[in-house]
Copies of this chain bind each other. A is one copy, B any other.
Amino acid sequence: MGVTIKDIAKKAGVSPSTVSRVVNGNRVISEETRNKILKVMDQMQYHPNSLARKFANRSTYAIALVINAEDEAAFSNTFFNRSLFAIERVALQNDYNLLITNDNRGDRSCIQSLVYEKHVDGLILPSSKIRKEVLEVLENENFPYVVLGEPPMRKHSLIWVDIDNHEGSRRAVNHLLEEGYQDIALVVKDQKNLFERKRLEGYRYAMNESGRNGNVMEYKEDRSLLEKEVLGFIEKQEGAFLCSNNVIAYEVMKILKDRKVKIPEEAGIVTFDNYPFAAYMDPPLTVVDINTYLLGERAANMLFEEIKKINGREKQILIETDLIVRDSSRRKGVVN
């Protein structure tokens, strides 16, 4: 097929191993022969065969990102995308390739295939993949991997990165209290999801700290239920709503506006996730922004530290959220 190291060697009048040394930037080689070989490589348009290289090195120079998408959801959410982008970038910086693997089977086979057959050098796994049988495989092989999201087990020994949703809720609650809202409700979609669970915990924690009970509402298909709860809540006091995503925030906002409840004067809103539209709402929405780029970047960096066995590496990282205050919760200065 293509030009091989042997062809170069023959033409340059050296041995294949010398050529190999040049390709690999081996230092112990004379300027003279190096230049000669480089010239021939250029002339003959030599491209090292990475298949052969990987084979000889027993390494793919690739890491795999396992995703867990039964449907398109995982790929269409911004959360995932920015992480992916970051991971790809870090991989590139380390001269590694990134393999994307969508694993919709629940067993260990995907991981086994990646480890034993595909011979990738490291894995980034979503926390939803963490199960005993999977960990078994990885630990047997002493295989480098990082978990994306706080794992459901062994959270003190595994290596993972997550968004600090707990702290995000606390920030939002404290901000709303400072703005003078007397009570705060949390509106979530379903509490199974890990993000929402942590948000709930943080909310409860902060409410508790302020001596309040808290009030959790669920956003369901049937809007009228939520409507009743929201209006009932706001009737009692100048309260605020911490919403777990932008759609929920929009719904709450609509319910309030329909009843001519003034935002932020009579009711405040804060939502998780800074979707492009949050800033365009009327009034613009205060958000707890989560940096998913950083999430991916950290995960990938940790993985490479594992692969390279760098000393003193961190094992668990929580990424701070960022509270972006906009008009939907800026009660102070408006009300006095």
A residues whose Cβ falls under 8 Å from a Cβ of B: 1-2, 47-52, 54-55, 58, 60, 69, 72, 74-76, 78, 80-82, 84-85, 88-89, 92, 97-102, 112-113, 116-119, 246-247, 250-251, 254, 275-277, 280, 282, 293
Identical chains bound together, number: 2
Q: How far is the CB of A46 from chain B (nearest CB, A)?
A: 9
**Which B residues are in CB contact (< 8 Å) with A72?**
82, 85, 293
A51–B62 Cα distance when bound, in Å, is 12
Would B280 and A247 count as touching, CB distance under 8 A?
Answer: yes
In addition to A49-B117, A277-B277, 6 A-B residue pairs with Cβ atoms within 8 Å of each other are A2-B116, A50-B117, A75-B81, A84-B100, A88-B102, A275-B277
Indicate if the CB atoms of A51 and B47 lie closer than 8 Å.
Answer: no
- Enumerate the 7 nearest inter-chain pairs by beta-carbon distance, A residue then B residue, closest first: A47-B116, A75-B85, A55-B55, A75-B81, A50-B117, A51-B55, A277-B277
Shortest Cβ gap from A45 to chain B (Å): 8
Measured between beta carbons, the chain B residues less than 8 angstroms from A75 are 81-82, 84-85, 88
Closest to A277 in B: B277
Residues of B within 8 A of A98 (CB): 99-100
CA distance A293 to B71 in the complex (A): 11
B-side contacts of A2, CB under 8 Å: 116
Query: Is the beta-carbon distance between A99 and B97 smaller than 8 angstroms?
Result: yes
A55 partner, pick from B52, B117, B250, B282, beta carbons under 8 A: B52
CB distance from A44 to the nearest CB of B (A): 12
Task: Give Cα A64–Cα B58 distance, bound, in whole angstroms.
Answer: 22
Which of chain B's residues have a CB closer than 8 A to the CB of A118?
A: 50, 97
Give CA–CA (A99, B246) in the complex, Å.
33
Most central of A75, A89, A92 by chain B CB within 10 Å: A75
Q: Chain A binding site: helix, strand, loop or mixed by DSSP?
A: helix
Q: Which of A1, A48, A118 has the most CB of B within 10 A?
A: A118
Do the beta carbons of B246 and A277 come within 8 Å of each other? yes
Smallest CB separation, A121 vs chain B (Å): 12
> Measured between alpha carbons, how far is A58 from B251 in the docked complex, in Å?
56
Identify A82's interface contact among B76, B113, B280, CB under 8 A.
B76
Bound form: Cα–Cα A76–B275 in Å: 11
* Inter-chain contacts of A76 with B (CB < 8 A): 78, 81-82, 85
Q: Assuming the A-B contacts A47-B112, A81-B81, A119-B49, are A254 and B282 also in contact, with contact meaning beta carbons closer than 8 angstroms in the complex?
A: yes
Task: Report Cα–Cα, A101/B91, bound state, in Å.
Answer: 10
Nearest chain-B residue to A48 (Cβ)? B117
A199 to chain B minimum Cβ distance, whole angstroms, is: 20
Q: Measured between alpha carbons, how far is A85 from B55 in the docked complex, in Å?
A: 29
Is B102 a contact partner of A89 (Cβ separation < 8 A)? Answer: yes
Which residue of chain B lies nearest to A92 when distances are taken between CB atoms in the complex?
A: B102
Residues of B within 8 Å of A84, CB to CB, are 75, 100
- Distance (Å) between the CB of A7 and the closest chain B CB? 14
- Report the bound CA distance from A254 to B76 in whole Å: 27
A204 CB to nearest B CB, Å: 28
A99/B102 in contact, CB under 8 A: no
Note all chain B residues with C-beta closer than 8 A to A55: 51-52, 54-55
Q: A179 to nearest B CB, angstroms?
A: 25
